[in-house]
Amino acid sequence: MALSTQVRIDAQVLGYALLISVITGVIFGMAPATQAAKVDLNQSLKQGAGRTTLGAGGRKLRGSLVVAEVALSFTLLMGAGLLIQTFVRLRHLDPGFRPENLLIVNTTLPQRKYAELPKRAAFYQQVLERVKPLPGVISAAYTTAVPLTWKGGTNGFGIQGRRTQMYGQDANHRQISPNYFQTLGIPLRRGRFFDEHAGPQSMPVAIINETMARQFWPDEDALGKRFKLGPPDSSDPWWTIVGVVGDVKQMGLEVPTKAEMYFPYQQMPGFFFFAPQALVIRTGADPMSLAAAVRREIWTVDPTQPVSGITTMERILESEVAQRRSGMRLLAAFATLALLLASLGIYGVLSYAVTLRTPEIGVRLALGAQPGDVWRMVVSEGLGLAFLGVGLGLTVSFALTRFLASLLFNVSATDVRTFASVSLLLISVAFVATYLPARRAAKVDPMVALRYE
């Protein structure tokens, strides 16, 4: 079963981050320091000149930094948006069974003790007989491995009446007890389920999934067809297909479903490697509340039998998407931080610009300009920077999101809705960031402003 990545603070990484922060502060602090050192003292001593000279000199640089912040925010938000959509679609993907209220208990049998089928069958039967009557248990069954916990375990097979060699075709091999499909909630498409009569002396029967039926019997009904776990000309028994069940996400939520074949464990004297080891229990309440009672019943059957991996099917599903969730949260956090920095950058630049241009605004108002005109002037400046940043971010995102393609599921790396949503979000945030400086500029008193001249 996949485990989520444990994230912790590493001393070396922390030191590296602190060093980079200091270097960044020094480098970006040199530009304004150099600019301030080159100020003409005669001009700066003139009344009001300090504002206009210093402001005009750094205006383009400040605007460029804001545009870069918006572009960076756009790129990070695009990546976060695509990964969020991927996570949501994976989490709500139909796995082919009902994962709620399923308790999973692993009882891997030691081969030295349970090499013979009668001993294995006795163990499985006794455990199921003792577990099923427990309060809260709806049904129980055994299987080689529950979905998503063993992404492999295949066998080659030969089909009756065909010359194709068995090594050119294979499918997942699972041995199960009766009631397994009902317990997991795997639907029956055609035919029937296994019953208690499938024993060593009865006709060997098998159930396959829809993918196997489509892949190897594409133009005919797979029911009644026969195959064997060996070359067609071998002495191995023929297995008759008695049922076709729905596909299950056995290999991974985002991995194409593989052909799969199920056999009654009572009819498998060999193939110990595929012997059932996972006990699946559907409950009417919290599955973990039954863990202690189930463990006790297993040890009643065999006190030396190891019991491990007690978990729920929902936890297995959660662990399957845990790595994507961690990546999504991390990228979303960086994107949110970048968005905040971009909004603060726009607000800071416009606030400073309003301060520098207070005399100019006073002159405009004194000559008849309306407060609304001033408000629109400041807003248009801020939105102009935002639009430039969004345009640059679009270009960068189109170039970089293709590297995310391998991490996405059922989402295009150039998803139009995501691009449009991120653009609208950034423009909206930019408008909010320009609102306060614009309102302050529109309220400038011409008489007070003209005193600066």
Per residue in 250-277, pLDDT (tens digit) is 998 888 999 999 999 999 998 899 999 9
Cβ atoms 175, 270 nearer than 8 A: no
Give the pairing type, strands 205-209 and 260-264.
antiparallel
Q: How far apart are CA 137 and CA 400, in angstroms?
A: 51
320 vs 1: CA distance, rounded Å: 8
* Alpha-carbon gap, residue 273 to 294, rounded angstroms: 24
Predicted local distance difference test score (pLDDT) of residue 46: 52
Which residues of the chain register pLDDT less than 70? 1-9, 28, 31-58, 164-168, 444-453
Residue 254: predicted pLDDT: 86
Please give the pLDDT value at position 23: 84
Output the pLDDT for position 326.
83
Instruction: Give the per-residue pLDDT at 2.
Output: 41
CA–CA dist 145, 148 (Å, integer): 8
The predicted model scores a pTM of: 0.74
Cα–Cα distance, 90 to 353 (Å, whole number): 47
- CA 397, 400, 402, 405 dihedral sign is negative
Q: How many CB atoms within 10 Å of residue 224?
A: 10
Cα dihedral across residues 176, 178, 181, 187: positive or negative: positive
pLDDT at residue 349, as a whole number = 78
In this structure, are strands 239-245 and 188-191 parallel, antiparallel, or unpaired?
Answer: antiparallel
Helix axes 49-91, 371-400, angle to 10 degrees: 50
Structure tokens at 156: 């080659």
